[in-house]
Amino acid sequence: MSAVQFTGTLSPHQTRRWFTFNWSPTQDVDWQVVPTTAVPGAPQIDWDVAIERATPTTITYWLTITNLSGNTIDFEARYQPIA
């Protein structure tokens, strides 16, 4: 089951970068970015995930999220640990 890590809002065609830190480097995580605002047509959001070693025992996930629509949208960034 996935959980919401953070929520955000993007203006039309805007790209922003978010981060979440203090994750264990031994745990694989699947990320999903899900629009919560209904916008006609698809796709609405594109995202990329980068991983950075923050300390010897933690990593930071950087999520770059782009609104592909001409409307302001809200979204949830969800994660699910992979067994």
pLDDT digits (tens, 9 = 90+) for 34-73: 999 887 777 789 999 999 999 999 999 999 999 999 999 9
- Sequence-separated (6 or more) residues with CB below 8 Å from residue 83: none
Cα separation of 34 and 79, whole Å? 11
24 — pLDDT class (breaks 50, 70, 90): very high
Task: From 6, 11, 34, select the one nearest 21 (Cα to Cα).
Answer: 6
* pLDDT value of residue 52: 96
CA dist 11 and 17 (Å) reads 13
Please state, for a pLDDT cut of 70, what percent of the chain lies above it.
Answer: 100
- The domains of the chain are located at 3-82
Flag whether the pTM goes above 0.85: yes
